Amino acid sequence: MKIVVTGPYGSGKSQIIHHITDGSCINIERRGTTIAMDHGLANVDGLNVFLFGTPGLLRFRTMRKILSEGADGIIFVVDSVDPESDARAKLFFREIAFFLPGVPCIVAANKQDLNAARRVTQLRKKMSFLAGLPVIPISAKTGKNVDSLLRTLLYLSMMQWSTVFSAFAEHSGAKSGLKKLMKDLNLPREEAVGYLRRFELRKLLEVAVGDESFTVKEPIRPLLENPVLIMNR
């Protein structure tokens, strides 16, 4: 799955990706500020998670647009400590909602290890755009709640694809799997192949030459049938 980590300047986007990937990520930065991107790969119960962190400076909008393309989920990071960042958070939220309409989003209320951190209820009062979104208090520094943040978002993203994923699981390895997928999902060939490509890229599937059949990577199959399993750890 492709996950984009966005939010205002200095809220902790790079630190979150650093924590999730155990430090094995890249960050293109200058004097501590991301100027191009963070990128890292994580493995959650066999699911490949491609993380893209955006730059938090307003002027890098084009970079954020490029990084956001095709994301399956959004981690929106807010700074629980700095009230001055709230207005910028609102701008960034509008931006990501424009780039990725309808894509599942979870809010990370970061820096909860600090005494000055505001509670989620206070943050909700100050940032009305958070209404209707799950907000998880986390610390990217100590790692508190970061794993459950990611798992919850993956669950939401997988639920959005649940019809497609259960058809993948059902017809994995079948002869003429593509035709069965098209029939089940009532899709023209072009669109069904588009789904195969999308999730082949995300390393969920292997697609046979000619596209006629596909195989789900074995450890992932139970997750595709029952996404809630990703929450059970």
**Residue numbers at the binding site for Mg ion (CB under 5 A):** 13-14, 34
Alpha-carbon distance of 106 to 48, in angstroms, equals 19
48/71 Cα distance (integer angstroms): 13
Nearest distance, CB of residue 193 and Mg ion, angstroms: 36
Question: At its nearest, how many Å lie between ligand GTP and the CB of residue 32?
Answer: 6
Among 1, 10, 145, 153, binds ligand GTP (CB under 6 A): 10
* Segment 56 to 85, residues that bind ligand GTP, using CB under 6 A: 56
Task: State the minimum distance, in angstroms, from the CB of residue 109 to Mg ion.
Answer: 17
Nearest to 149, CA basis, from 161, 162, 133, 138: 138
Amino acid sitting at position 19: H
Site stretch for ligand GTP (CB under 6 A), options 120-128, 135-143, 148-156, 180-188: 135-143
By CB atoms closer than 10 A (0-12, 13-18, 19+), residue 227 is buried
* Six token digits for residue 147: 């794993």
Of 34 and 68, the one with the shorter C-beta distance to Mg ion is: 34
Residue 15 binds what, of Mg ion, ligand GTP, none (CB under 5 to 8 Å, by partner type)?
ligand GTP
Q: Where are the alpha helices (DSSP H) in the chain?
A: 13-20, 61-68, 86-99, 120-126, 146-160, 162-171, 177-185, 189-201, 221-225
55 binds ligand GTP (CB under 6 A): yes
* Residue 15 sits in the site that holds ligand GTP (CB under 6 A): yes
Question: Angle CA(55)–CA(58)–CA(60) in degrees, nearest 5?
Answer: 50
40 binds ligand GTP (CB under 6 A): no
Shortest Cβ 28–ligand GTP spacing (Å): 10
One-letter amino acid at 48 equals: N
What the block records as the tokens of 126 is 């100050």
Using CB under 6 A as the binding rule, whether residue 9 contacts ligand GTP is answered as yes
In the complex with Mg ion, the residue whose CB is nearer, 63 or 97, is 63
Report the interface residues with ligand GTP, using CB under 6 A: 9-15, 33-34, 55-56, 110-111, 113-114, 139-141
